[in-house]
Amino acid sequence: MAVSQSIATGGAEGGSVANDGGSITFGGGFGSLKFGTLNASAALGEGNGNGAYTWKHVLNSAAAGGRSYQYGLYTLPAMIPGLGVAIRVQNMSAATAIDFSDFTATANGTQLRLNYDTGPVTMAYYVRSNSGEVHGTVDLGVAKISMGMDTKTSTVTDKRKEVNVKIPMGGMELAAFYGKKGSITSTEVGVTYALSKRTALNATTGSFKNAVQTDALKSSTRVRLTHSF
């Protein structure tokens, strides 16, 4: 049996560093079992996320752009090449501190996840009793395009659509993102230039309409220098 652990941090508004979740995974012939927490937003997750203010902030009333969740994820052993089947259990309560013991009919976020990976093309379908979403990625070599959209929600205006395009150009990468949920929209573009293997310079700018927050930004630009360890 193999055991792995991960802890993530991310930049919050105001330049502070915040916890962005962590997990522990147990894997073996039975498949894999993962327990963790994450700072989830109302976005589908196709955005590039390099701006100080992004699509995930636009969709959330909280300034931090999300709230903490606890979750469990069981992935079945692979039986068909490329096909993955997983079951995720997540408490959808609005409380910040989430405890698996306080599940209710509305808070139960049990979700079936189907993934198919052919190499340059990946597809996924996530479904639970009151919602469904599809994801897809195509790697064309000259560009990588990822898309996500809701197939089922409680109302028509709840449905989200996201498209992200990344274009590598030598040591530079261009990125563009568009997100829409009803009248709420976000358009973001950015460029990242690799100064070395672990150091990069990034610039991102975005334009937003009808964000959930009453004091939301209509535009945001950030330039940052990053280094990975």
Give the pLDDT mean for 104-108: 59
Tokens representing residue 117 in the block? 């990976």
Q: What is the pLDDT of residue 163?
A: 96
Q: pLDDT tens-digit profile of 121-148?
A: 999 999 987 789 999 999 999 999 999 9
**In terms of C-beta distances under 8 Å and separation of at least 24 residues, what long-range contacts does 117-126 make, across chains too?**
117/82, 117/84, 118/82, 125/151
Q: Write down the pLDDT at residue 144.
A: 96
In the prediction, which pLDDT does 49 show? 64
Which of 2.60.120.200, 3.60.15.10, 2.40.160.10, 3.40.930.10 is the CATH number of 2-227?
2.40.160.10
Q: Name residues whose C-beta falls within 8 Å of residue 46's C-beta, 6 or more positions apart in sequence.
A: 135, 146, 147, 148, 162, 163, 164, 177, 179
pLDDT at 195 exceeding the cut of 90: yes
219, 206 contact by CB (below 8 A): yes
SS3 of 111-166: the string is: EEEEEEECCCEEEEEEEECCEEEEEEEEECCCCEEEEEEEEECCCHHHCEEEEEEE
Contacts of residue 224, defined as CB under 8 A and 6 or more positions apart, other chains included, come to 50, 201, 202
pLDDT of residue 178: 95
The whole-number pLDDT of residue 202 equals 94
pLDDT in tens, 45-63: 887 667 777 888 888 765 5
pLDDT at res. 96: 47
Which residues is 25 bridged to in the sheet?
A: 4, 34
Phi, psi of 20 (to 5 degrees): -120, 25
- Judged by average pLDDT, the poorest of 34-38, 149-153, 213-217 is 213-217
When comparing pLDDT for 179 and 217, which is higher?
179
Mean per-residue pLDDT for 11-26?
Answer: 64
